[in-house]
Amino acid sequence: MNGPQDWFTTAGLIAATISSIVACIAAAVRLLRMPQRGRTLEITAVITATVICGAVFMYRAFAVHRSWVPLQSHVDGLALLAGLVGMVVMWSYWTRRLQGLNVFLLPVMALVSLWGVCAGWWSWKPFDISSVWTSVHLFSVYIGTLSVAAAAAKGALWLYVDRQLRARTHQAQRLHRLGALANLESIEVGITRSATIGFVLLTIGLITGLIITTGGESRLGPGWWYSAKVVLAAGVWAIYALVMHVRFVPTFRGRRAAILSIVGLVLLIVVLGISQALPGPKTVQSSLFKVQSEPRLCATHHFELATVNCERPPKEASECI
């Protein structure tokens, strides 16, 4: 039930991926041509994908794992992340803030849902939940990824609106499209807020990750502090520390802040991929010889059946045939 044989999880995430892709296409068509009929299809597809991801996450928490810790594998985290992205998109519909954000946030939802299908079917492996620090680390990383994705989507929206404003030919359709989108100032404020939340959560994730790594055997090996995962994670943390303070650094305002927010999301996705590519924790075996009794024929007993230790040193084992 926990591995790739869980057909309900796979089917649910496939359905969520298809619904997200339909919502992406409808949102892109609405952005380019502004038809009013596509809004109903887009909202319906987003709600469907969000409900499915939430149902998959709850199903795995209560029916599969049956534990008070819902995040037991990467599939659980991806289902949670996709559902939360869908909730952010519906929040933008409801409040009508940052119009056009859904066009750049829905592809993230589709990508995460598809990643969940791949992680559940081909590369499934459970997390090693050894302490409460591990649970805090996982939740902070996945929720922080949500904030990073929101900041990156706002950065892409800022670049799109800026490009439309810089166009030399301002047609009536282009001006009408810009009037329905958020302005650059409000988008930049949204980038800063999302980056601040992501920075706080990623800081918690880094601190708890260091506690876990230094407190026991690490999958990263003895040189963990200069491994690709740690270096890239520190790079993401530094990027969002900079984006968070763009209001006080005029050099990085506007286009550079938008680009940095997108680069931060790409690096964080690479970090998550590296984390899943690492081998699981090695099983520590005792160095003491275990006594196992098996019938053997020994020369010292005139080829009679005797009980000997199977894991004794080689010198003693040489007496046996």
- Cβ neighbors of 212 (< 8 A, separation 6 or more) are 130, 131, 133, 134, 137, 218
Predicted confidence (pLDDT) at residue 48 exceeds the cutoff of 50: yes
Same domain, 143 and 265: yes
The pTM of the whole model exceeds 0.75: no
Same domain, 296 and 279: no
Mean pLDDT over residues 282-287, rounded? 35
Amino acid at 73: S
Same domain, 132 and 248: yes
Backbone angles phi, psi at 305, to 5 degrees: -65, 130
| Better-predicted residue by pLDDT, 247 or 70 | 70
Q: For residue 21, name the pLDDT band (cuts at 50, 70, 90).
A: very high
Segment 211-246, tens digit of pLDDT:
877 766 555 555 555 566 677 777 777 887 877 777
- Cβ neighbors of 259 (< 8 A, separation 6 or more) are 155, 159
Which of 91, 106, 125 terminates a domain? The answer is 125
Same domain, 119 and 157: no
Same domain, 154 and 76: no
Backbone angles phi, psi at 219, to 5 degrees: -70, -15
Same domain, 212 and 239: yes
Q: Please report, for the domain that includes residue 19, its CATH number.
A: 1.20.120
| Better-predicted residue by pLDDT, 8 or 19 | 19
Predicted confidence (pLDDT) at residue 312 exceeds the cutoff of 90: no
Q: Is 142 in contact with 134 (CB distance < 8 Å)?
A: no
Provide the mean pLDDT of the chain: 76
- If you average pLDDT over each of 6-20, 86-100, 163-177, 223-237, which comes out highest? 6-20
Same domain, 188 and 45: no
Which of 125, 159, 194 terminates a domain? The answer is 125
Instruction: Give the chain's domain count.
Output: 3
pLDDT, position 281: 45
Same domain, 60 and 195: no
For tokens 């939802």, what's the residue?
109
| Percent of the chain whose predicted confidence (pLDDT) is above 90 | 21
pLDDT, position 321: 36
Segment 128-153, tens digit of pLDDT:
777 788 888 888 889 988 998 999 99
Same domain, 175 and 280: yes
| Better-predicted residue by pLDDT, 227 or 40 | 40
- Distance from the first to the final alpha carbon of the chain: 46
Rounded distance between C-alpha atoms, residue 288 and residue 301, angstroms: 27
Same domain, 185 and 95: no
Q: For residue 279, name the pLDDT band (cuts at 50, 70, 90).
A: low
Which of 91, 125, 159 terminates a domain? The answer is 125
pLDDT, position 295: 41
Rounded distance between C-alpha atoms, residue 39 and residue 232, angstroms: 39
pLDDT, position 317: 40
| Percent of the chain whose predicted confidence (pLDDT) is above 70 | 71
Same domain, 133 and 266: yes
Predicted confidence (pLDDT) at residue 282 exceeds the cutoff of 50: no
pLDDT, position 238: 80
Q: How many helices (H) and strands (E) does the chain have?
A: 10, 2
Same domain, 11 and 81: yes
Task: Give the CB-side neighbour count of residue 292, counting CA atoms within 13 A.
Answer: 7
Q: Is 49 in contact with 20 (CB distance < 8 Å)?
A: yes
34 Cα distance to chain centroid = 32
Predicted confidence (pLDDT) at residue 304 exceeds the cutoff of 50: no
- If you average pLDDT over each of 98-112, 212-226, 275-289, which comes out highest? 98-112
pLDDT, position 110: 94
24-38, 48-62, 106-120: which range is least confident on average? 24-38
Segment 147-186, tens digit of pLDDT:
989 999 999 999 988 888 877 666 656 656 666 677 888 8
The whole domain housing 303 covers 286-321
Segment 261-278, tens digit of pLDDT:
898 888 888 877 776 665
